[in-house]
């Protein structure tokens, strides 16, 4: 009898240990950020991470996933480094080494996102992205959710918005120039303007140049702009080092410092990095089209971000990854289990103007059949007195726009 009793007690102890382990595992749910943390785009990965970390702090401090007994989120990071091939390898490591990862956000550069999602789709891992490239959601994938307005739609939305800003101050745009790198998002952004949008608006394209980043010398490109004297320049690099080279060269050739209306695209053009490397004088008046930004009504989250990180403002990258964590939180509340497919189904089912919707332009989280966010909108920020401030749409702008005089 004593032997039976000992065996029974051992069995009960083992069962208790297994239950305890299961509960411990349930109380820690892994989500990820896959982004460049090394190489020329490392700063953007860092900003994404800072936003995600703040969200994890807020979610866990507010009680975690309530439908799962207060389970806490644990954030993991994966470095895409500096090429699409390395990004794909990082994604393969992510899905193989972390089988209990339930969702991820990434991978900043659209070329990287395209490579990463080939892997995450096969692994049925839900992934959110701010990347703009049109191709991201035209491949029939079911596990990728694009929170930003995609490149084609952004370009179509930005041109009339910029022209409207110009018209408010009496400016007329008859000619334009495009300088764009060959990455997926930048090329996608330029495509509709090249293929009729400018012509339809009565604007002649006088310079159209594509380059491979990073640039060694911006002189040949800027010389073409100087020789044609356009009324508007679409400046579309994706690396901060190229931002610096081109803005400085424009100034050197007498087209910077508010003399030529410049429209850039992507949050890298609104980072403190650019301010430190280029200076507020050269950045003054530069307009930047972005898929997300801190706007009127989001002052509290901005103040908390600045306090935690020491950053002077919150960029698109930080705000979007912050919002992505809240999307995962909401999905887990709906799914009530840490299961990739269940979380993906929950994300697809969302239609809300509350919770995570507050952190994205348009104020709604709902997805169409391709995984694009319904109602996504573009935000235009402008460098004014050393700070990139939202000037469009008017209802969420914190500052009035200015139009540089050429």
pLDDT in tens, 310-336: 999 999 999 999 999 999 999 999 999
pLDDT at 2: 54
Q: Do the two domains 9-150+296-366 and 152-295+379-396 of this chain adopt the same fold?
A: yes
Computed over every residue of the chain, the mean pLDDT equals 91
Tens of pLDDT, residue by residue over 20-40, are 434 344 589 999 999 999 998
Q: CA 358, CA 303: separation in Å to the nearest integer?
A: 16
**pTM for this structure?**
0.85
Long-range CB contacts (within 8 A, 24+) of 138-146: 138/370, 141/117, 141/371, 142/344, 142/371, 143/117, 143/344, 144/117, 144/120, 144/371, 145/327, 145/347, 145/367, 145/371, 145/373, 146/371, 146/372, 146/373
> pLDDT value at position 16?
43
Q: Where are the domains of the chain?
A: 9-150+296-366, 152-295+379-396
Give 9-150+296-366's CATH code, choosing from 3.40.50.2300, 3.40.50.1220, 1.20.140.10, 3.30.365.10.
3.40.50.2300
pLDDT > 70 fraction of the chain, expressed in percent and rounded: 93
Cα angle 61, 62, 67; round to 5: 120
pLDDT band at 8 (very low <50, low <70, confident <90, very high): very low
pLDDT value, residue 5? 52
CA distance 297 to 292: 14
The answer to whether residue 180 scores a pLDDT higher than 70 is: yes
Confidence band for 406, pLDDT divided at 50, 70 and 90: low
List strands edge to edge, sheet with 144-146.
72-79, 28-35, 101-106, 127-129, 144-146
Give yes or no for a contact between 24 and 68, defined as CB atoms under 8 angstroms apart: no
- pLDDT of 268: 83
Q: Which residues of 224-253 are buried (b: 16+ CB within 10 A; e: fewer)?
A: bbbeeebbbbbbbbbbbebbbbbbbbbbeb
The CATH code of domain 152-295+379-396 reads 3.40.50.2300
Tokens standing for 327? Answer: 């999307």
pLDDT at position 72: 98
């Amino acid at each position: 009898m004593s032997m039976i009793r000992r065996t029974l007690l051992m069995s009960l102890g083992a069962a208790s240990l297994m239950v305890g382990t299961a509960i411990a595992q349930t109380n820690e749910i892994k989500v990820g950020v896959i982004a460049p943390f090394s190489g020329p785009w490392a700063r953007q990965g860092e900003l994404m991470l800072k936003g995600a970390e703040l969200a994890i702090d807020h979610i866990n401090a507010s009680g975690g996933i309530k439908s799962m007994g207060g389970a806490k989120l644990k954030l993991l990071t994966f470095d895409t480094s500096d090429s699409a091939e390395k990004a794909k390898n990082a994604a393969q490591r992510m899905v193989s080494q972390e089988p209990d990862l339930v969702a991820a956000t990434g991978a900043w550069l659209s070329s990287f996102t395209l490579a990463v999602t080939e892997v995450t789709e096969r692994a049925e891992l839900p992934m959110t992205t701010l990347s703009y490239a049109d191709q991201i959601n035209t491949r029939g994938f079911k596990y990728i959710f694009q929170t930003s307005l995609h490149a084609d739609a952004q370009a179509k939305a930005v041109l009339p918005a910029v022209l409207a800003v110009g018209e408010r101050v009496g400016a007329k745009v008859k000619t334009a120039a495009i300088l764009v790198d060959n990455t997926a998002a930048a090329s996608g952004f330029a495509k509709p303007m090249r293929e009729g949008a400018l012509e339809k608006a009565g604007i002649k394209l006088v310079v159209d140049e594509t380059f491979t980043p990073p640039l060694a010398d911006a002189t040949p490109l800027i010389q073409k702009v100087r020789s044609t004297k356009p009324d508007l320049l679409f400046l579309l690099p994706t690396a901060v080092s190229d931002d610096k080279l081109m803005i400085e060269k424009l100034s050197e050739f007498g087209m910077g410092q508010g003399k030529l209306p410049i429209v850039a695209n992507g949050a890298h053009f609104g980072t403190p990095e650019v301010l430190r490397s280029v200076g507020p004088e050269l950045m003054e008046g530069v307009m930047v089209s972005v898929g997300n930004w801190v706007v009127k009504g989001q002052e509290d989250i901005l103040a908390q971000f600045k306090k935690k990180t020491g950053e002077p403002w919150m960029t698109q990258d930080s705000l979007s990854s912050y919002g992505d964590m809240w999307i995962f939180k909401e999905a887990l509340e709906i799914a009530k289990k840490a299961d990739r497919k269940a979380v993906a189904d929950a994300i697809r089912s969302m239609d809300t103007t509350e919770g995570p919707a507050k952190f994205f332009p348009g104020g709604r989280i709902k997805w169409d059949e391709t995984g694009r966010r319904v109602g996504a909108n573009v935000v235009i920020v402008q460098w004014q007195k050393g700070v990139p401030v939202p000037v469009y749409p008017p209802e969420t702008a914190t500052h009035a726009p200015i139009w540089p005089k050429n």
